[in-house]
Structure 1
Amino acid sequence: MVKLLFSIPLSLKILILSLGFWVIPVPINAEQTPVVPYDTEGGTEDTKPGGTRLIPDYHKKPGLRRDTQPGRTRDQCLTSENLKPLTALVPKSDKQLELTISPHPSLLIYFPPSQAQTADFVIYNNNTNQLVYKSTFDLQKNGGILRITLPPNSPELQTEIPYRWTVQLNCPGSNPPFIQGLIQRNIPTPELTQELAKNPTNQHWLIYAKAGIWHDAIANLAEQLRQNPNDQQLKENWQKLLNEVELNLIVTEPLI
């Protein structure tokens, strides 16, 4: 099954991973101005992963954008000389929605070495701007890939509704790095449910990936690799999955 997925042409693989073949996402109101959960001190925001608040005309361009390129400045926060950006492990795509079937999904975020000791995570209902959950968590000085999971006692994500999430580093300076994205919970099709039921759990990541359920795919594979860090097959699967969605810059970063 793994060989079949990675033998498909790159353009088709990205389409499969980012859209899925059975999901029709709910349209997002392009005229809605994103809620800014943090004080911009009169500045503007760039919602690209790794970016900083430097684009003067951002508020004239509604909607969220994504990029995995490094930000243009390290401000007073990021410390690595070979700077890799603060990055969400999601497919690099013009499509905004990231999909899950979990009521309490996980997000994987790469945190570069920085002076920040903590980071904030917030998630809003993108239709109503209602806060769903927020938390502050500790960071490791040397950075790495951290799994952020909505706890069981937090409100469930409702199906077919886009939610906007933000992760921001808490560090000196007026422009702390942050990233944003949109996630949506979809109802699994009977076909997907059947495939999951008849295959072992160590293959579920591949089934999710083929169905375009990105967050569940990468969270499942990351958890297997965390539990079995010396498994060569898992390492190869992890590398191939990240390379296929243009996350090769962080494929060797540790899971923390």
Structure 2
Amino acid sequence: MKILKHKFKLFLAITLGFSSLIIYPNLVTAQSNTQEDDFPAAPDTGTPTGTSTPGGSRPQKNCPQTKLPLRALVANNGKDFTVSEYPNLLFNVPYASNQIRNIEFALKDPAEMKTVYRTAIKLTGKAGIVKVSIPQQAKYALKANKDYRWNLILYCVGNKTDEPDQNLMGWIRRVPMTSQLKSQKYQSYIQNNIWYDGIHLLAENYFANPNNSKLKADWNDLSKSLKWDNLDKNGFAETVLVEPRE
């Protein structure tokens, strides 16, 4: 059994996928990786809370001090839902490219003990908000009413081990579209706990129109309510889409 378990983990570790990744304001590229971890069971209802701020072992050793933390832009309140088969996840990365050795993202299906999607991220410029878009291919599609776990792990320059300096973990569940959500307005998404879609849509609108007083007020109110602390100072600049590589 130990041999079979070892072979199964090895198979998961070498099964990679590559997505469309967007960084604001900098380009993100995809690389392969081999990091794996356990698959805890999800609850029967709702989504469990995760670690939306770092749970790493030693960021103080290799990572420089920053005013803002590495952070997942989610509510982390047990109601982090999406209506999209291919959702977008946002992360505040406070480090410049010359401070990071590697960032890795994985989306996992705990019920079936498998990695749905996996990629590595390489920053090429300044700190910013990174958007990870699940590729729009059937093999990556989220099934309705099912919990998925994601991980974002970061290795800073100076780390020469396989142990990450910082580790974020969260959950996402796709729920069916309802009549209230067909307008695809961020207010409706947020009011109905569709946090991934609501946060993503508001961020896209606000940073595309930073002088819009309504969008700015809504973004600041959301940031305060979720204790994000002035993430808008990073700003979104030109979007660069990196095509997935098989």
Normalising to structure 2: TM-score of the pair? 0.67
Give the counterpart letter for 2:103 in structure 1.
A
CA RMSD, Structure 1 to Structure 2 (Å)? 2.6
> Which residue of 2 is the match for residue 11 of structure 1?
none
- CA drift of 1:145 comes to 1.3
Q: Answer with 177-186 or 131-140: which moved more.
A: 131-140
> Which residue of 1 is the match for residue 60 of structure 2?
74
> Which residue of 1 is the match for residue 45 of structure 2?
27
Q: Does 1:160 align with 2:145?
A: yes
> Which residue of 2 is the match for residue 219 of structure 1?
200
1: distance between equivalents of 2:236 and 2:122? 15
> Which blocks of at least 5 consecutive residues in structure 1 are unaligned?
1-24, 31-45, 55-72
Asked whether the 8 Å contact 2:103–2:122 carries over to 1, the reply is yes
**Counterpart selection for 1:104 from 64, 86, 97:** 86
Asked whether the 8 Å contact 1:166–1:178 carries over to 2, the reply is yes
Moved over 6 A (4+): none
Asked whether the 8 Å contact 2:52–2:76 carries over to 1, the reply is no
**Counterpart selection for 1:113 from 95, 100, 123:** 95
Q: Does 1:88 align with 2:72?
A: yes
- CA drift of 1:240 comes to 1.0
Asked whether the 8 Å contact 2:154–2:164 carries over to 1, the reply is no
> Which residue of 2 is the match for residue 128 of structure 1?
112
> Which residue of 1 is the match for residue 179 of structure 2?
190
SS class of match (1:74) = helix
SS class of match (1:248) = coil
- CA drift of 1:92 comes to 4.8
SS class of match (1:240) = helix
Asked whether the 8 Å contact 2:180–2:188 carries over to 1, the reply is no
- CA drift of 1:140 comes to 4.8
Structure 1 pair 28/75, CA: closer, same or farther in 2 (3 Å)? farther
- CA drift of 1:226 comes to 3.0
> Which residue of 1 is the match for residue 128 of structure 2?
144
Normalising to structure 1: TM-score of the pair? 0.65
Give the counterpart letter for 1:180 in structure 2.
M
Identical-residue share of aligned pairs (%): 26
Asked whether the 8 Å contact 1:104–1:151 carries over to 2, the reply is yes
> Which blocks of at least 5 consecutive residues in structure 2 are unaligned?
1-42, 238-246
The aligned length equals 187
Q: Does 1:50 align with 2:54?
A: yes
- CA drift of 1:242 comes to 1.5
2: distance between equivalents of 1:137 and 1:145? 13
> Which residue of 2 is the match for residue 14 of structure 1?
none
